[in-house]
Amino acid sequence: MKAFLFVLFSIFTITYSAMAQNTRAYMGHNIFYSPKDGPYIETYVSIDGSSVEWRKNVNNKYQAKVELTLIFEKDSSIIDFSKVIVKSTEVNDSAGMNIAFMNTQRFAIPNDNYLIKIKLDDLNDTLNADYIMSDLTINVSDTSASISSIEIIKNLSEAKNEGPFSHSGYDFIPNIYNYFSDKDSIFTFYAELYHVDINTGADQPFILNYYISSFETNRILPNYRKFEKRKAKSIDAILGQFDISKLASGNYVFSIELINQNLKIITKKDYFFQKENLRINVDDNDIESINIINTFAELITGKDTLEDVIKSMRPISSNSEVEFAKYIVRQGNDHTMQQYIYNFWQKRNPLEPSKPFIAYMVEVMRVKKEFSTSIKKGYETDRGIVYLKYGQPNSIMKEYHEPATYPYEIWHYYGIKGQSNVKFVFYDTDLATNDFKLLHSNAIGEISIYNWRLQLRKRDSGYKSIDQTGRAVDEWGTRYNEYYEQPR
């Protein structure tokens, strides 16, 4: 059997091994609003053709077929479901079997928190399918302005008939991967605006502002910002694009803001993505002209101290900054390291770079004290990295003595980087070093494991369950489900 395992949160990938071959599928979702039906979710499942069985059909062509079942539950009651057969295009031989094939569906579901159950079964291989589950929150306001999910478009064409890929008269083929390769030069997006007239008044002017910023620094990139003046409607749509061929490799956030006549933000929506660009040299590499005389950086002396400061900045550094920092440290020049440190913080606060530097160093000292181990400094540990990257959690639940689990901590953030209700699960498998590893998170860009509960319970070697996520299991003395589902 070829089984497919994935997590529904923006886009994450999980690989499952079956019959000595890896099988892969990817899933994403967007949430929109219809004046007639209310909120609805659009789901996208992309199946890697190289990981499934292909058989000849009645046309004597090779084709893959997968049965996809989606179930939406609330308090163990089924709210909606579907079961469809997803077919690949027909191919003549094995040369065409590495293509991906996608299914898109729409479900009208009210605002609430749900559990989505997913099953995929390769119909060319008849063994039992595997299941996974994931949380889903739908929350579209009908009493104030809001923005739909931001849909990234791979291809678009004028819609001849309304279908599952249609929006505002166009058919969209979505890009569900939050990743743009070196070959991807255009960033095309679509979003819908709801009930702006409630905030501004019907037909009143407002500003639509959209831009790309650095994920690590929050600095808006000057060549990637556009404004539009619009009149408020009950429902509206925006379709736009940026040329990102000259965007350096790194982590970025695309943002849409609605601004009223008083220049106050009415509402905002963010979309995280990564860009790879092998052709662009980052300007940060030229720091020789930076003057550090009479700055805070001049006061940081000693090779070991300078290296320690630079390494501690890694959790909040972009990919290019991480690589350049490694180069600077290898060179071992004290003055160049001072220049790098000053340049790093000047980009984050051009007027007073010492302020964010001092504030960050205070947090570095805190994680050194809290999370250091015998072989790692605090900022090198998973808990230290998460703390420095996202700040202090709103709550931390600690359980070190449950009989069936490793010692663990569950961190909860009300909101970070445009996401809400973000959680991190750390656990300590060697029971001695205080080095809690990151096991699972629902934060974009972090490790996400659908069956993290079973991993947490690994010390219970006799544990067996058909519930492949472990979500439904609560033995005496265990509270990880409670802490994760209802953080305090």
CATH (domain of 22): 2.60.40
pLDDT category at 131 given cuts 50, 70, 90 is: low
Q: Name the pTM for this structure.
A: 0.75
Counting the structural domains of the chain, the total is 4
Same domain, 190 and 253: yes
Let me know: does 453 contact 405? Beta carbons within 8 Å: no
Residue 379 belongs to a domain: no
Looking at the structure, tell me whether residues 157 and 125 fall in a common domain.
Answer: no
**What residue numbers bound the domain in which 406 lies?**
393-485
Token representation of residue 443: 């934060």
The answer to whether position 95 is within a domain reads yes
Asked if residue 297 and residue 267 are part of one domain, the reply reads no
Instruction: For residue 27, count other CB atoms closer than 10 A to its CB.
Output: 27
Is residue 190 a part of any domain in this protein?
yes
Residue 385 falls inside a structural domain: no
Q: What pLDDT is stored for residue 236 in this prediction?
A: 96
State the CATH number of the domain containing residue 196.
2.60.40.3880
Write the CB contacts of 100 (distance below 8 Å, at least 6 apart in sequence).
46, 47, 48, 49
If asked whether residues 65 and 152 sit together in one domain, one would say no
In a domain, 371, yes or no: no
CA angle in degrees (0–180, nearest 5) for 426-429-430: 130
Q: What pLDDT sits at residue 282?
A: 53
59/124 same-domain check: yes
Residues 275 and 156 placed together within one structural domain of the fold: yes
pLDDT number for residue 177: 83
In sequence order, what are the beta bridge partners of 209?
227, 257
Q: Is residue 154 part of a domain?
A: yes
- How far is the CA of 267 from the CAs of 271, 273, 319, 390, 435, in angstroms? 14, 20, 30, 22, 40
Note whether 250 and 227 are within 8 A (CB): no
pLDDT in tens, 222-270: 899 999 999 999 999 999 999 999 998 888 999 999 999 999 999 999 9
Inform me whether the pLDDT recorded for 4 exceeds 60. no
Q: Which of 280, 309, 327 is the C-terminal boundary of a domain?
A: 280
Q: Please check whether residues 167 and 240 belong to one and the same domain.
A: yes
290-314 pLDDT tens trace: 999 999 999 999 999 999 999 999 9
Per-residue pLDDT, 279: 74
Where a domain ends, among 139, 155, 186?
139
Tell me what pLDDT residue 444 has: 80
Final residue before a domain boundary, out of 107, 139, 171? 139
pLDDT beyond 90 at 75: no
Q: Tell me: do 68 and 97 sit in the same domain.
A: yes
